[in-house]
Structure 1
Amino acid sequence: MSLRARVDLTQEELATELSRRFLMIGSNRKVTKKSVSDWETGRHSPRFTPPETLEVCDTLKCDLVELALAVKSSPSK
């Protein structure tokens, strides 16, 4: 089960919640449903600042180790 599914969020809901939380900490980063999909399929790896990473962990109710283990590597080119 994915971390997102564990907290019962759709890709769109997660994108919206992360965008809202990032704005609250002063980040202008917008998260889209496509970004979430790309992270989950391993097409792209997320690149967050440390404060953004903590917001992701809080949203997904996980710790840094769980988040790191859940991130799929992008395919090598």
Structure 2
Amino acid sequence: MGSFSIWHWLVVLLIVVLVFGTKKLKNIGQDLGGAVKGFKDGMKEGTEAADAPASQVTHQEGAQKTTIDVEAKQKS
């Protein structure tokens, strides 16, 4: 009962494909892959910033503190 055979997984895969369709599954896969790639790039940038000398980190922090003031308007 604890493990499923390959046939169980094939039936589950077939049902998922029939419910969602191959195009939707492809889009979900691309979105997930892009998110993982973005996460890995962010981790690399974080590691590089931690390894950088203090003068470079200070300069980068100053550039990142730029903000844009936006005034929110209410709908009537």
In our comparison, the structure showing a higher alpha carbon Rg is 2
Please give the TM-score of this superposition, normalised by the length of structure 1: 0.27
* Larger helix share, 1 or 2: 2
Highest relative contact order (Cα 8 Å, sep 6+), 1 or 2?
1
